[in-house]
Structure 1
Amino acid sequence: MQPFLIPRQYNQDTNTYKVLFLNDVHFSKSRTINGTRHYHTSPDLMRKTMDEYVPQLMPDSIFLLGDMCDWSDDWKRFKNIYNKNLSKAAQVIPIVGNHDFDVTSYDELLDIFDLHELRENGGSKFNQSFKVSANIRVITIDVNFDEEDKHTNKYWDMRMHTKSVGWLEDELTKSKEDIVLILSHHAPMDHLSNRFDRRQGDELKQVVDKVASKKPTMKMFWFFGHHHVTQIVCFDKWHDRCVGYLLPAMVEEEDGRFSFLEMKDNGEYKIKQYNISI
């Protein structure tokens, strides 16, 4: 796995960047949580996604939007499944979620994904910014911090590291690309539910305001999970220049789902949900 590299499959002829989003997999070989959530089906759902849908859709990037494994000993099996038939040309990019910290530390997660050599940005090595095409930039953000800027598995009042807000503003300000995809386990446009820190959510909206006033051609898209919805939910009222998409969970009851994005350099895009049964 080579994270944070420009994908070689990017289609220069169509100027289309293709992304497969996997979130809230809760990979487990035997565990069932809260009765109705059949998390024990996640290995089969993951295997079907990687064996059947990845070769069919040929994504440039696969983003893991957090809550991938609840138990440390499941990570090896999880990685074996997505590595088995994964094209070497596609990049796999991890974004951690709160449950990834249930029994696994920040340093252990860096070991799992072999990310120790990455530069730390805004308080986390899971914060990265990179160009994927002539006019598209991707920014990944770690939102699993408490008010003392320590990593936490807390489910509510999720927030970035204090330094991450300024780092995000800097990355947006200096970006030469007009299309920016922001990826995190949870996002500020849903802070009214108390699952994202309200104060920091307001601060992030001010950051978007500031950047948008300076860059009239920039469009921002924020993709996230965490809620275990079963359908894609669009947040288009938070800011007219930053549309949010809450993506459905891989595992909820016995079926599964993932999301697939096709983004063009001119900002035209389509996002589709795929439902999986086993």
Structure 2
Amino acid sequence: MESIVIHVLTDLHMKDIDGNPNHVESIGEQGLFYAVPANFRTYAQIANKENPDVVLLLGDCFHGSCPPNKFMEIWESIHSPKLLTLGNHDLDIYDSKELATFFGYSNQPIVAGSSFNQVYVIRKGNMSCRIIMLDSSFDEANQQSNHWQHCKLHDAALDWLQAQFEENQEDYILLCSHVSPHQFDSNHLYFEKQAKQIATIVQAYTTLHPEVKVMSMAGHSHPEQPEHFSNLGLMFPGIVFPPMIRHRQETPSGGPNGVYSVVELRVGEYQVGMEWVEYRE
């Protein structure tokens, strides 16, 4: 059966510590492994072999002082179409204009407050998908920073989202951001008022178009495996994906392994899985 295959990465947290897995700074909060770019390089090789229809990176590409060119060297080696958006740690040192330049988005128009708000449509066989990349790095005053709670889109993004739904002709709509609106009641990670405004837009659309599946995809909270949410209505599910870089003794090879997720869309159904990237220098 024809399917659309999407690889999802989030929360790489690459740091400027190269090649030393025992460095005191390489093992951080929640067991995230920051130091070794080898995991990301290995993933790039996997992606180039598996050739997914698109690779999505949902923010926190690097962490603090990591030079963006180290990340970009690996990111650009991936042959599949690829899209990314900002995470809070991407803004630890750099502002959004600098990041747009680093990531090759400086020529993209500023849409609904950010050049990272973009749309990508996949049509394959008898099915299609509209991917809406969203910049959730704004606060209540529509300012961008590295805050990690009460995150939201720029207010102007709501009208833009509404327009995207109105022109949609696809079978799936994926709302992709670093922080999910479904996380509004999880330590107040998302701004509750806007989360419910987004849900209202989605629910109005799915009432008229129940055949279209709409879901949110995000990272940020570092779950052990993909977590599924329905707290904004059964017609608007959310998925929060695990961070890519890990350092867990119980993982394959017992060391600093990587994680990526695979979303496979078929007519009328979808599957979500998690794959390990075994650590090797």
Q: Which TM-score tier does this pair reach, normalised by the shorter chain?
A: 0.7 to 0.9
Find the aligned partners of 1:239 and 1:262 in 2 and give their Cα distance.
Answer: 22
Find the aligned partners of 2:151 and 2:133 in 1 and give their Cα distance.
Answer: 15
* Alpha-carbon offset, residue 192 of structure 1: 0.5
Is the alpha carbon distance of 1:130 and 1:277 closer, same or farther for their aligned partners in structure 2, counting shifts above 3 Å? closer
Query: For residues 136-175 of structure 1, what are the structure 2 equivalents within 5 Å?
Result: 136-175=129-168
What amino acid sits opposite 1:236 in the alignment?
A: S
Aligned residue number for residue 16 of structure 1: 3
Selected match of 1:47 from 34, 41, 48: 41
Aligned residue number for residue 182 of structure 2: 189
Aligned residue number for residue 200 of structure 1: 194
Aligned residue number for residue 26 of structure 1: 13
Selected match of 1:261 from 252, 260, 263: 263
Aligned residue number for residue 5 of structure 1: none
Aligned residue number for residue 121 of structure 1: 111
2:261 is aligned with 1:271: no
Q: Secondary structure at the match of 2:61?
A: coil
Q: Secondary structure at the match of 1:39?
A: coil
Q: Tell me if structure 1 keeps the 8 A contact 2:16–2:66.
A: no
* Alpha-carbon offset, residue 237 of structure 1: 4.3
* Alpha-carbon offset, residue 73 of structure 1: 4.6
How large is the Cα RMSD of the aligned pairs?
A: 1.8
Query: For residues 44-83 of structure 1, what are the structure 2 equivalents within 5 Å?
Result: 44-51=38-45, 53-71=46-64, 73-83=66-76
Is the alpha carbon distance of 1:177 and 1:28 closer, same or farther for their aligned partners in structure 2, counting shifts above 3 Å? same
Q: Tell me if structure 2 keeps the 8 A contact 1:186–1:224.
A: yes
* Alpha-carbon offset, residue 216 of structure 1: 2.5
2:203 is aligned with 1:209: yes
* Alpha-carbon offset, residue 135 of structure 1: 2.7
Provide TM-score, normalisation by structure 2: 0.86
What amino acid sits opposite 2:99 in the alignment?
A: L
Find the aligned partners of 2:67 and 2:199 in 1 and give their Cα distance.
Answer: 37
Is the alpha carbon distance of 1:209 and 1:150 closer, same or farther for their aligned partners in structure 2, counting shifts above 3 Å? same
Q: Tell me if structure 2 keeps the 8 A contact 1:24–1:66.
A: yes
What is the percentage of aligned positions where both structures have the same residue? 24
Find the aligned partners of 2:57 and 2:32 in 1 and give their Cα distance.
Answer: 20
Find the aligned partners of 1:104 and 1:146 in 2 and give their Cα distance.
Answer: 17
Provide TM-score, normalisation by structure 1: 0.87
Q: What does the per-residue CA deviation read over 1:85-125, in whole Å, with 9 as the maximum and x for residues that have no partner?
A: x32xx112111111111101111111012222222221111
Q: Which runs of 5+ in 1 are unaligned?
A: 1-13
Q: Secondary structure at the match of 1:135?
A: strand
Q: Secondary structure at the match of 1:40?
A: coil
Find the aligned partners of 1:81 and 1:116 in 2 and give their Cα distance.
Answer: 19
Aligned residue number for residue 130 of structure 1: 120
Q: Secondary structure at the match of 1:100?
A: helix
Find the aligned partners of 2:131 and 2:88 in 1 and give their Cα distance.
Answer: 21
Aligned residue number for residue 20 of structure 2: none
2:169 is aligned with 1:176: yes
Aligned length: 259
2:100 is aligned with 1:110: yes
Aligned residue number for residue 221 of structure 2: 227
Find the aligned partners of 1:167 and 1:128 in 2 and give their Cα distance.
Answer: 10
